[in-house]
Amino acid sequence: MQQGRSYLMEKRRKGKRMNNIPERNNNPQELNKLVKVMLELALDDIRSQGVNPLVVETYRPQERQNYLYCQGRTIAECTAKGISSSFAKAYCNPNGGKKPTKTLNSVHTARKAVDVVPQRIVNKKMTAIWNVNDPHTQIIIKTMQKYGFEAGANWDNFVDSPHFQVKGDFTAVFDAKHTTPYVTKAIQTALNERKCNNLTVDGKWGPATTEAVNVFRKCQGYKTALGQIGSEALNALFAK
């Protein structure tokens, strides 16, 4: 809800002072390679359940993150975090409403986060739905989690219902050293569904998970058994 409002405010302010701030980008191509695969698989699955997902934002340059941080905050609050005083003076908007972000270090800037809301016809007009309790939002949350996303809707301290992220140290493959508990859980569940093994779905990537990944890779005809899931194997693992 609060993000919906802040995007609206941003629209109104545009043209006035936003000349140097990169605009909101919702292109999945801008995401990390693995996150892009996860998103595309999840979006297909969401659509197959009769829900029309709207990708609101993907990659966010740091400058845009700084701009969002300035919304709902004072100049002093922002310069204390390292934002330059000229930037804070230009963009701080302490009375502008709720804060659209809690951090300067968003996973969006690392190309590993995406905001998704449902959209549908309301009063003859396609409308984005910014309501965490909406049944379509709940389908999106459940499905994004199935593919390894952490859902901001489940955060205790700052509920961010359209936000989904894969916060972790990985670039092109997932393996025992490069994964997140959410990704590992999703991969373990998918491996079990493919009857590659009977893994305990605990989000911990140990030797049994590596072994199951290698069994799966062998079934798929890969010659190497590195215990890794790259973008191609990820697609194959979650293929319907």
Beta carbon of residue 113, minimum distance to Zn ion (angstroms, whole number): 5
User: 54 by DSSP, 3-state: which?
Assistant: strand
How many Å apart are CA 65 and CA 61, to the nearest integer?
7
Is the CB of residue 34 less than 8 Å from the CB of residue 174? yes
Choice between 183 and 190, CB closer to Zn ion: 183
Cα torsion 100, 155, 179, 218: sign: negative
Q: Which of 73, 112, 163, 185 binds Zn ion (CB under 5 A)?
A: 163
Q: Which stretch binds Zn ion (CB under 5 A): 8-16, 80-88, 109-117, 216-224?
A: 109-117
**CA–CA gap between residue 165 and residue 182 (Å, rounded):** 10
- Using N-to-C axis directions, what is the helix angle for 181-193 and 231-238, rounded to 10°? 50
Residue 137: CB atoms within 10 A of its CB come to 21
Give least dist CB 163 to Zn ion, A: 3
- Cβ of residue 37: shortest distance to Zn ion, in angstroms? 19
Would you state the structure tokens that stand for residue 87, as one six-digit string? 């930037």
Binding mask 60-89 for Zn ion (x = CB under 5 A): ------------------------------
112 interacts with Zn ion by CB under 5 A: no
Rule CB under 5 A: is residue 217 a binding residue for Zn ion? no
Q: Please, what sign has the CA dihedral across residues 198, 201, 202, 203?
A: positive
Q: Give the range of 14-22, 38-46, 108-116, 124-132 binding Zn ion by CB under 5 A.
A: 108-116
Q: Is 115 in the site for Zn ion (CB under 5 A)?
A: yes
Who's near 20: CB < 8 A, 6+ residues apart?
63
Closest distance to Zn ion from the beta carbon of 108 (Å)? 6
Candidates 15-23, 87-95, 143-151, 163-171: pick the segment binding Zn ion (CB under 5 A).
163-171
Stretch that binds Zn ion, among 44-52, 74-82, 159-167, 220-228 (CB under 5 A): 159-167
Rounded to a whole number of angstroms, the minimum distance from the CB of residue 34 to Zn ion is 18
* Alpha carbons 15 and 35: distance in angstroms, whole number: 32
What residues make contact with Zn ion under the rule CB under 5 A? 115, 163
